[in-house]
Structure 1
Amino acid sequence: MFRISQYMRELAQAEQTGQYPQVRDRQARGPVVIWNLIRRCNLTCKHCYALSADHDYEGELTLPEVYTVMDDLKAFGVPALILSGGEPLLRPDIFEISARAREMGFYTGLSSNGTLIDAPLAERIAGAGFDYVGISLDGLKPTHDKFRRLDGAFDRSLAAIRHLARHGVKVGLRFTMTALNAHDLPNLLQLMKDEGANKFYFSHLNYAGRGNIHRDKDAHHQSTRAAMDLLFEHAWRDAQAGCMDDYVSGNNDADGPYLLQWVRRNLPQWESALHERLVRWGGNASGQMVANIDNLGHVHPDTMWWHHDLGCVRDRPFSEIWNDTSDPLMAGLKQHPRPVQGRCRDCQYLAICNGNTRVRAQQLTGNPWFEDPGCYLSDEEVGAPSTPFTPSKGKSRRTINVAPATA
Structure 2
Amino acid sequence: MVGALPSPTPANDPFAERPFLVFWEVTRACALACRHCRAEAQPQRHPDELSEQEAFRLVDQLAELKPPMLILTGGDPLMRRDVLAIARRASDAGMRVGLSPSGTARLMHFDFNAIREAGIERISLSLDGASRQTHDAFRGVGGTFDRTIAAVEMAHLAGLSVQINSTLTRSNLHEFDAFRDLMFELRPAMWSVFVLVPTGRAQAADVPDPEDLEGVFERLADLVGKAPFTIKTTEGHHFRRVLAQRGKGGRKGRQGMRSPLGIRDGRGVMFISHTGVVSPSGFLPFHCGNVRQRHPAWIYRKHPLFVSLRDSDALGGKCGRCEFRNICGGSRARAYGVFGDAFAEDPSCSYQPSDRSADFSPQVFH
Q: 2:214 aligns with which of 225, 230, 239?
A: 225
Identify the match of residue 126 of structure 1 among 110, 116, 126. Answer: 116
Instruction: Check the 8 A contact 1:278/1:352 in 2, yes or no.
Output: no
The CA deviation at 1:160 is: 0.9
Residue 185 (structure 1) shift: 2.4
Percent identity of paired positions between Structure 1 and Structure 2: 28
Matching residue of 2:340: 366
Task: Provide the TM-score with structure 2 as the length reference.
Answer: 0.85
SS at match of 1:187: helix
Q: 8 Å contact 2:18–2:301 — kept in the other structure?
A: no
Distance in 2 between residues matched to 1:27 and 1:290, nearest whole Å = 9
Q: Show CA shifts across 1:19-77 (max 9, x none).
A: xxxxxxx9994212100000001111111111112122120001110111111111122
CA distance in 1, matches of 2:187, 2:109: 17
1:178 corresponds to which residue?
Answer: 169
Alignment correspondent of 2:277: 298
Distance 1:133 1:278, change over 3 A: closer
- 1:147 CA drift (Å): 0.6
Query: Which structure: larger Rg?
Result: 1
In structure 2, relative to structure 1, the CA distance for the partners of 1:109 and 1:277 (3 Å cut) is closer
Match of 2:53, as an amino acid? Answer: P
What is the aligned counterpart of 1:342 among 317, 330, 333? 317
The corresponding residue for 1:106 is 95
Query: After superposition, what is the alpha-carbon deviation per residue over 1:152-207, rounded to whole angstroms, capped at 9, x for unaligned?
Result: 11111111111111222111211010011122222222222222322211011122
Cα distance in 2 for residues equivalent to 1:145 and 1:291: 30
Structure 1 residues 210 and 128: CA distance shift in structure 2, 3 A: same
The answer for the alignment partner of 1:22 in structure 2 is: none
**Equivalent pair of 2:16/2:301 in contact (CA under 8 Å):** no
Consecutive unaligned residues in structure 2, runs of 5 or more: 1-13, 357-366
TM-score (norm 1): 0.77
How much does 1:315 deviate?
1.2
Deviation at 1:135, TM superposition (A): 0.3
Q: Which moved more, 1:252-261 or 1:356-365?
A: 356-365
Match of 2:361 in 1: none
Alignment map for 1:260-339 (pairs within 5 Å): 260-263=244-247, 274=249, 281-306=260-285, 308-325=286-303, 327=304, 329-335=305-311, 337-339=312-314
Return the offset for 1:96. 0.6
Which of these residues, 91, 99, 117, is aligned with residue 80 of structure 2?
A: 91
> 2:23 — aligned with what?
34
The structure 2 residue matched to 1:82, chosen from 57, 61, 71, is 71
CA distance in 2, matches of 1:186, 1:28: 38
> Which residue number corresponds to residue 363 of structure 2?
none
Residue number among 117, 127, 131 corresponding to 1:137 in the alignment = 127
1:71 aligns with 2:31: no
More divergent stretch after superposition (36-45 vs 193-202): 193-202
Unmatched 5+ stretches in structure 1: 1-25, 264-270, 385-407
**Which residue matches 2:234?**
250
Conservation of the 8 A alpha-carbon contact between 1:80 and 1:108: yes
SS at match of 1:59: coil
Aligned to 2:45: 56
Which structure is higher in helix share? 1
Name the SS of the counterpart of 2:302 in structure 1: coil
Cα drift, residue 375 of structure 1: 1.7
Quick check: 2:126–2:165 contact (8 Å CA) kept in 1? yes
Q: Secondary structure at the match of 1:82?
A: strand
- DSSP-derived class of the 1:202 partner: strand
Give the letter aligned to residue 71 of structure 1: D
1:278, distance to aligned residue in structure 2 (A):
6.4
4+ aligned runs moved over 3 Å, structure 1:
26-29, 274-282, 381-384
Give the aligned residue type for 1:30: R
Distance 1:27 1:51, change over 3 A: closer
